[in-house]
Amino acid sequence: MAEIIDLDKNNKLVLWPLRYEQKEEFWFSSEVNLTYRGEPFIKGYASFHLNDFCQLVNDVKSLINNDKESFVFEPIEPYLKIVFSSINSQYIADVYFCKGPIFEASNYKNIKITTSKENLANFIVQIEAELKQIDSKLELKMVQL
């Protein structure tokens, strides 16, 4: 399970990979949980390609290292979109999630998470651990971080 937690711990995004859909195509399903102001906001499931998460790890590392000021995590499947940015040593994740099946702007729920460098670094450690588990279960040996 990987999570991004707001500085005041009221807003949170949790990604929890659950099952592996297509071994040969490197797809897996993940539970997506958003908490807003300390209360459950929206919960659903999304499909991700392994490369989506590898790119997320690399982009967040670039943000932490000040190589980038912002980037958009927009996986192949349109369930989840996160706009990451760095402003005055604060890190902001603008999270959009849609349970589907119709992916229109009005169906997306949005929360903003303002977090620290330490919380983002912890998120990366958690994502890397999840990726390595996925990789070993699928016996891909392809995760390069």
More confident residue, 28 or 92: 92
Residue 85 binned pLDDT confidence (cut-offs 50, 70, 90): very high
Asked if pLDDT for residue 140 goes beyond 80, the answer is no
d(CA 66, CA 69): 7
C-alpha pair distances (Å), 87 with each of 20, 25, 74, 133, 143: 36, 37, 21, 33, 30
pLDDT score for 76: 82
Domain 2-138 has CATH 2.30.31: yes
Instruction: Tell me the pTM.
Output: 0.86
Q: What is the mean pLDDT of the chain?
A: 86
Domain boundaries, the chain: 2-138
Q: Which residues of 59-98 are buried (b: 16+ CB within 10 A; e: fewer)?
A: bbeebbeeeeeebebebeeebbbbbbebeeeebbbbbbbb
Residue range 108-123: average pLDDT? Answer: 93
Q: What single-letter DSSP state applies at residue 27?
A: E
Q: 56 by DSSP, 3-state: which?
A: helix
